[in-house]
Amino acid sequence: MTVRPASLPSAQAEIALPPARSPAAIALRRGLSHGGFLIGAGIVGLVVLTALAAPLVAPHDPYAQDVSRRLIPPIWHAKGSVEHLLGTDKLGRDYLSRLIYGSQISLLIGLSAALISGAIGTTLGVLAGYYGGRVDAVVSYVVTTRLALPVVLVALAMASLVGGSLKVVVLVLGFLLWDRFAVVTRAATRQVRAQDFVAAAKAAGFSPVRILAQEILPNILNALIVVATLEMAHAILLEAALSFLGLGVQPPLPSWGLMIAEGKPYMFFQPWVITIPGVALLILVLGINLLGDGVRDITAPEGRH
């Protein structure tokens, strides 16, 4: 007998279970006719390409400063310069180049944090969902405890204790954002477990490890991908917030959140210094969210949710 607070996010989780084995062709057809998915995939694809090709596409060294060429406005301003399409920052560093290299940081943090939290959350969720009973009770308890901790505050405190850096931010976020993975995979595993082919595998005497790896995991993969996109977006926003508060990625790294923090003193008279990285963050996160929503819709049993 387990007690699960109804306020756990699963009560609101909108992630529908994918059909047992959805043919790739159907998914592809649905994907191509799903506007949000296409836009999301386009945005994410573009950002990934930019991040990978940063050294090729960035017009300047993102760290090269020239204090005599500070705060040049972007090209669409009267005083803009072709040499610096998005202008320069307070130390005369090329804003476009910093923005391009900044995408590497956002993606790196989003991916690594989602990987770590995904590993933790999925392990907990699958165990709880598969075994039920006591295991489920313990996992639910751990998730409830984790949800009670204020994420931003704990992340800030941890980062300050260890010292803010890219690695620390990834680890802290990875170890904090696993709750949704656990909740969703738990629910998904329970549903899959009740299906015939799992019962058949059990009857055939397969080991639990093998059942989990071969029968359960592949069937909850779509739900996992959806949560992973959400948590990637979440981690990217949190990194920006931590860096904005001075306890995330440290200068001179060109994190977008840090760029907003550094541009803040200039926002009243040079608003573009915070608008540009802010919009970049918005677009990337929007893209990831659209992609996630798209994947959910496409893999949902009755098509659009």
Partner 1 sequence: MPIRIEAGRVRTGHARMRRAGLALAGLLLAGVAGPALAGKANDTLVYASDSEPENLSPYHNNLREGVILARNVWDTLIDRDPKTGAHRPMLATAWTWVDPVTLDLTIREGVTFHNGDPLTPEDVAFTFNYVLTPEAKIVTKGNVDWMKSTEVTGPHSVRIHLKAPFPAALEYLSGPTPILPAAYFRRVGLDGFSKAPVGTGPYRIVSVESGKRVRMVRNDTYWPGSPIGKATIGKLEFRIIPDADSRMAELMTGGVDWIWRVPADQAEQLKADPTLTVLSAETMRVGYLQFDVAGRAQATSPLKDVRVRQAISYAIDRKAMVDNLARGGARVMNAVCFIEQFGCTEEGVPTYAYDPAKARALLKEAGYGNGFDIDLSAYRERDYAEAVIGYLRAVGIRAKLNYLRYAAFRDALRAGKTSIGYQTWGSFSINDVSAFTGIYFRGGEEDLARDPAVIADLQAGDTSTDPALRKAKYRQALTRIAAEAYALPMFSYPSNYAFSADLAFTAQTDEVPRFYAASWKK
Partner 2 sequence: MLGFAVRRILVAVGVALTVSVASFLLLHLSGDLATAIAGPEATGEQIAAIRVQHGLDQPLVVQFGTWAWHALQFDFGRSFYFPEQVTDLLASRLPVTLTLGVIALAVALLVAIPLGVVAAFHRDTWIDRTALAVSVLGQAMPSFWFGLTLILIFSVNLRWLPVSGNATWKHFILPAVALGYYAMPAVMRLTRNGMLEVLSSDYVRTARAKGLPPRKILIRHALRNAVIPVIALAAVQFGFMLGGSIVIEAVFSLQGLGQLAWESIARNDFPVVQAIVLVLAMIYIGLTLAADLLNALLDPRLRS
User: Which residues here bind partner 2, judged by CB under 8 A?
Assistant: 3, 5-7, 9, 11-12, 14, 141, 144-145, 147-154, 156-157, 160-161, 233, 237, 240-241, 244-247, 257, 260, 264, 267-268, 271, 274-275, 278, 281-283, 285-286, 289-290, 293
What are φ and ψ of residue 84, in 5° steps?
A: -125, 95
Mask 78-97, x = binds partner 1 (CB under 8 A)? ------------xx-x----
Q: How far apart are the first and last CA of the chain?
A: 32
Of these partners, partner 1, partner 2, none, which one is at the site of residue 278 (CB under 5 to 8 Å by kind)?
Answer: partner 2
Q: Min. distance of Cβ 227 from partner 2 in angstroms?
A: 14
Of these partners, partner 2, partner 1, none, which one is at the site of residue 5 (CB under 5 to 8 Å by kind)?
Answer: partner 2
Of these partners, partner 1, partner 2, none, which one is at the site of residue 63 (CB under 5 to 8 Å by kind)?
Answer: partner 1
Closer residue to partner 1, CB minimum distance, 7 or 160:
160
Closer residue to partner 2, CB minimum distance, 216 or 236:
236
CA distance 266 to 171: 32
Encoded tokens for 36:
């949000």
65 binding partner 1? (CB under 8 A): yes
Q: Min. distance of Cβ 210 from partner 1 in angstroms?
A: 46
What are the distances in angstroms from CA 72 to CA 65, 212, 235? 13, 57, 31
Closer residue to partner 1, CB minimum distance, 210 or 264:
264
Stretch of 7-15, 37-45, 64-72, 188-196 contacting partner 1, by CB under 8 A: 64-72
Q: Kindly state the number of chain residues that form the binding site for partner 1, as judged by CB under 8 A.
A: 23
CA distance 111 to 105: 10
- Interior angle at CA 154, CA 152 and CA 156, nearest 5: 65
Q: Count other Cβ atoms within 10 Å, centred on residue 268.
A: 7
CA distance 30 to 297: 9
What are the distances in angstroms from CA 54 to CA 58, 98, 253? 6, 10, 14
131 binding partner 1? (CB under 8 A): no
Stretch of 41-49, 80-88, 119-127, 264-272 contacting partner 1, by CB under 8 A: 264-272
Stretch of 48-56, 97-105, 146-154, 263-271 contacting partner 1, by CB under 8 A: 263-271
What is the chain's alpha carbon radius of gyration, rounded to the nearest angstrom? Answer: 22
Encoded tokens for 78:
């009267």
**Taking a C-beta distance cutoff of 8 angstroms, is the pair 151, 173 a contact?**
no
Q: Min. distance of Cβ 107 from partner 1 in angstroms?
A: 21
Q: Count other Cβ atoms within 10 Å, centred on residue 298.
A: 23
CA distance 68 to 50: 29
DSSP state of 7: T
Stretch of 73-81, 199-207, 210-218, 257-265 contacting partner 1, by CB under 8 A: 257-265
Among 43, 71, 156, 227, binds partner 1 (CB under 8 A): 71
Where do the H-state alpha helices sit in the chain? 24-32, 35-52, 54-57, 95-131, 133-148, 151-162, 166-176, 179-193, 196-203, 208-211, 217-244, 256-263, 272-299
DSSP state of 94: B
Helix and strand numbers, DSSP H then E, in the chain: 13, 0
The interface with partner 1 within residues 266-285 (CB under 8 A) comprises 266-269
The interface with partner 1 within residues 221-250 (CB under 8 A) comprises 246, 250
- Tell me which residues touch partner 1 (CB under 8 A): 63-65, 67-68, 70-71, 90-91, 93, 163, 165, 246, 250-252, 262, 264-269
